[in-house]
Amino acid sequence: MSTGFTPYKLPEEYSDIRTATRDVCDAGVAPHAAEADQTASFPAKSYEALKAADLHAPHIPAEYGGAGIDALGTAIVIEEVARACASSSLIPAVNKLGSMPLLLDASEELKQRYLPPVADGEAMFSYCLSEPEAGSDAASMKTRAVRDGDEWVLDGVKRWITNAGVSEFYTVFAVTDPEAGPKGISAFVVEKDDAGVSFGKPEKKLGIKGSPTAEVYFDSVRIPAGRLIGEVGRGFSLAMRTLDHTRVTIAAQALGIAQGALDIAAAYAGEREQFGKPIAKFQAVQFLLADAAMKITAARELTYAAAARSERVDADLTYFGAAAKCFASDAAMEITTDMVQVLGGYGYTQDFPLERMMRDAKITQIYEGTNQVQRVVMARELLRGNAF
């Protein structure tokens, strides 16, 4: 008996985005992933491939020269890039992270000045929130911004800044009223070439080695007053609203890493023979693959649900963004470890990309809020009645 119910299915346009992105990544990103990891260098060739296909900052609206891909489509792009190279997936992900505060709160003048160069691929955008003593407790930041006539003067240091030194533009959060706590923090656009801006040495990291991470220093950096994003004192709330949207991109990155690992392990298991038959015939291996597929399916549904809420700015976005990021990254860490196990000794070598994927997966449990913080966020939203 028909009930008239149509099972959930993504519109065809998203399948087209996936297919197009995968084609670009198979040809122009995956071949450079191992080199970016081994040399710990920014994947410039991958960037050019993404830029040529308008996938380097797909979220930027068409009115600013961008592809105008919505939050779900952008998540699919990041997922597919991460399937090929996690470091390269931070190109579209961090461009969104850095520019999201402008999209949420900036004046039209700031948007017109800074979004088109990113859309054109002439510049990238990074996000400066964390500091040496202000990680999970971002509100305890010390970087200061003092008004001086028609300028703001910034002094301080930011740590763990993705693509530091590569990006041309930086969204910087700084204290403008030391007595006001979180309500005394404001947001600004700083340019790489502003006098007084400098960068530390790239961190030596476990994974995502092709995406440079470094400190950014502000030594009496003078910027025009018009580079304030939104209102004075609204920076911390803007930072948190931004993360509600961009935690979805980390979920997508983790999802892509996990999918890439499963694809490699499943193909290997079908070819590798022991005891006279492919190891895919052994139940122990089948269970590893089945569990991975199940968790990826669940992570994908949760991530896409969160992305749809990001596009609509639903009341439960904070919960869904935290839940997607937490679940997908925990799943990615477990899945990549298990897929290394499927390959046995080969999985532990650089002859296969699984050891890189396992190392890359770990950071998704840490940045844009540790998964312990995500659980705090989810519990808070649940108790407020904003979980569903």
**CATH number of the domain to which 293 belongs:** 1.20.140.10
Rounded to whole angstroms, the Cα distance separating 186 from 336 reads 39
Domain-embedded: residue 143: yes
User: How many other C-beta atoms lie within 10 A of the C-beta of residue 153?
Assistant: 17
Residue type for position 99: S
Distance (Å, whole) CA 135 – CA 191 = 23
Q: Are 96 and 133 found together in one domain? A: no
- Same structural domain for residues 190 and 287? no
**Does one domain contain both 292 and 323?**
yes
What's the one-letter identity of residue 355?
E
**Is residue 258 in a domain?**
yes
Query: Is 368 a known active-site residue?
Result: yes
The reply to whether 175 and 77 lie within a common domain is no
CA nearest to 60, candidates 104, 96, 36 = 96
| pLDDT of 7 | 58
6 is a domain residue: no
Domain boundary (84, 119, 154) is at 119
Same domain, 140 and 264: no
**CA separation for the pair 5, 165 (Å, rounded):** 52
The answer to whether residues 243 and 380 belong to one domain is yes
CA angle at residue 153 from 152 to 157, to 5 degrees? 125
CA distances from 118 to 65, 154, 182 (A): 9, 24, 29
Total structural domains within the chain: 3
- CA-CA distance, 180 to 119, in Å (whole number)? 36
130: left (phi over 0), alpha (psi -120 to 50) or beta: beta
pLDDT at 388: 76
Among 96, 119, 142, residue at a domain's last position: 119
Check whether residue 377 and residue 247 sit in a common domain. Answer: yes
The gap from C-alpha 313 to its chain's centroid, in whole angstroms, comes to 18
What residues make up the domain containing 55?
12-119
Whether residue 97 lies inside any domain: the answer is yes
Residue 305 in any domain: the answer is yes
Sign of CA dihedral 281, 283, 284, 286: positive
Q: Does the residue 37 lie in any domain?
A: yes
Q: What is the CATH number of the domain that holds 57?
A: 1.10.540.10
Q: Do 256 and 362 belong together in one domain? A: yes
Nearest residue to 127 (alpha-carbon basis) of 158, 87, 82: 158
Sorted by sequence, the CB contacts under 8 Å of residue 124 that are 6+ apart come out as 56, 57, 91, 94, 95, 98, 118, 163, 166, 167, 168, 169
pLDDT at 8: 72
Q: Are residues 92 and 199 in the same domain?
A: no
In a domain, 2, yes or no: no
Q: Is residue 87, in this structure, part of any structural domain at all?
A: yes
As given in the structure block, the two tokens for residue 263 are 């694809």
User: Mean pLDDT of residues grouped by 10 in the chain (388 residues)?
Assistant: 58 96 98 97 98 98 98 98 98 98 98 98 98 94 98 98 98 98 97 98 98 98 98 98 98 98 98 97 98 98 98 97 98 98 97 98 97 98 92
Q: Residue 177: how many CB atoms within 10 A of its CB?
A: 13
Q: How far apart are CA 208 and CA 231, in angstroms?
A: 35
Alpha helices in 128-172 (DSSP H): none
- CA–CA dist 189, 224 (Å, integer): 10
**274 and 169 fall within a common domain:** no
Q: Which of 79, 80, 355, 368 is catalytic?
A: 368
Burial 61-79 (b: 16+ CB within 10 A, else e): eeebbbbebbbbbbbbbbb
Domain endpoint, select from 68, 98, 119: 119
Same domain, 286 and 167: no
Residue 251: count other Cβ atoms within 10 Å of its Cβ.
Answer: 34
Are residues 250 and 294 both part of a single domain? yes
For the chain, the distance separating the N- and C-terminal CA atoms, rounded to the nearest angstrom, is 31
Q: Cβ atoms within 10 A of the Cβ of 9, count?
A: 8
pLDDT at residue 3 in the model: 47
CATH of the domain at 176: 2.40.110.10
